Amino acid sequence: MNPTVQHLVPLLVALHTGACADPATSVAGRSDDELVADLLARIADDHTWDQPPAWEGTPWITAGSPHGTWVDIRVHPIGADVLGRDPMPYGTVLTKTQLDAPDAPSGVVNAMWKLRGLDRDDGAWFWAQWVDDRLETAGPAVHECLGCHRSGADFIRSAVDAPGVPPA
């Protein structure tokens, strides 16, 4: 290969990867802020997504809180049919909307989005939490979220955890 061309190969590979990366399944060179904006747009219709089988018939008392916050958990169609598989497919998004009571959203919304280009040891999930529409935390490898989620199959808790109590 001619040395000039050889020099250009890494650049061309990088351009090609960036250009071809699917924004639904890959970081695709975006900043955390850009990923948050995209994630927020993607979860706008999450109420139309499936619920994990054990959690159907929303909402349920959370299994993870001693204080009994109600939760509505949804999984994007990319991951719905294979929920519980480890690893889950890239592009899977899960949301957990917290409620003070079955018909009273508390204002806390959590989301996790599986993306190519993130550290696989930390599950390759991008995490975000909003409180009253304000971004509270976001990023890959958010320790606060990973601490509990590491115990789930590919970091997902509701695929294995049963709800705390049935809906009223």
* Residues engaged in binding ligand HEC (CB under 6 A): 62-64, 71, 73, 94-96, 110-112, 127-129, 137, 142, 144-145, 147-149, 152, 156-158, 161
Residue with tokens 């996790």: 112
Nearest residue (CB) to ligand HEC, 18 versus 64: 64
Count helices and strands (H / E) in the chain.
4, 6
Cis peptide leading into 87, omega within 30 of 0? yes
Minimal CB distance residue for ligand HEC = 64
> Which one, of 48, 101, 92, 47, lies nearest residue 71 by Cα?
101
**Rg from Cα positions in the chain:** 18
Neighbours of 109 (CB within 10 A): 21
Query: Shortest gap between Cβ of 135 and ligand HEC (angstroms)?
Result: 11
Nearest residue (CB) to ligand HEC, 9 versus 162: 162
Query: Shortest gap between Cβ of 101 and ligand HEC (angstroms)?
Result: 15
Query: Shortest gap between Cβ of 4 and ligand HEC (angstroms)?
Result: 47
Query: Shortest gap between Cβ of 79 and ligand HEC (angstroms)?
Result: 10
Tokens of 58: 């929303």
